[in-house]
Amino acid sequence: MPNIIEITNFSDPRLDLYARLSETQLAHCYEPSPGLFLAESPRVIERALDAGYEPLSLLVERRHIDGQAKDIIDRCEDIPVFTADFAILSKLTGYPLTRGALCAMRRRSLPSPATVCADARRIVVLENVTNPTNVGAIFRSAAALSMDGVLLTSSCSDPLYRRSIRVSMGTVFRIPWAFLDEPAAGCPARRMESLHSLGFRTAAMALCGNSVSVEDPRLGAEEKLAIVLGAEGDGLCAETIAACDYTVRIPMAEGVDSLNVAAASAVACWQLRIR
């Protein structure tokens, strides 16, 4: 039987997860154990449940209780389901809920980079990609185009931030990922060395004079390849590019110098996937 709770008091401490804790605070609230995250929209919440994440509570627009959110409410059994009209929930959270539903869920311990790479042949490596929208879009492309995993430097936006999860359409729950271990995470040369030690050749996506086309057949022929992408605007640091086996460009029409990093990831993953 659903435990439906009408919101009558914004200061209810049970609503702190949705109203007063930042995503960084949620991520660290149970340290050293993993913290929490917010999944947004019924479809994304459903994918998190399918992946085995534990729900703690739901925040659902009233009109969706017997509509779009009904199935997830039934799946979550007796956890609290806080509800109110759209305007009240938007005031509480500070943003409009996509499809009228949020779910607070427990994080899980992340695998090691070596575990993510153990049986992988194609992985994506993100360096300093701080925009959560780009991170989410890259995960969606990586999952859709048969990449085996994603590794991130510690300065990247957290893939379990609400916006990243939503933009990824929940594919962050499908594709294995990990943050690179320190000190390798902070040293470009050591990052590439760690990938080489796992059997990967590395391809830096960058606009350089000595770059090869993403269509170069040598890339597709590599048994294990890591596609390395940098931040929007700044791109990869020079040390990373120098430490990679290939520097790779996407051919552009005259007058256009580059693609957004999320778009570039889709092109690269498509072209360099295992056929």
Edge-to-edge, what's the strand order for the sheet holding 3-6? Answer: 3-6, 80-84, 55-61, 101-106, 36-40
pLDDT 10s per residue in the chain (275 long)? 679 999 988 889 899 999 999 999 999 998 899 999 999 999 999 999 999 999 999 999 999 999 999 999 999 988 999 999 988 989 888 888 877 899 999 999 999 999 999 999 999 999 999 999 999 999 999 999 999 999 999 999 999 999 999 999 999 999 999 999 765 556 888 889 999 999 999 999 998 878 999 999 999 999 999 999 999 888 899 999 999 999 999 998 988 888 999 999 999 999 999 98
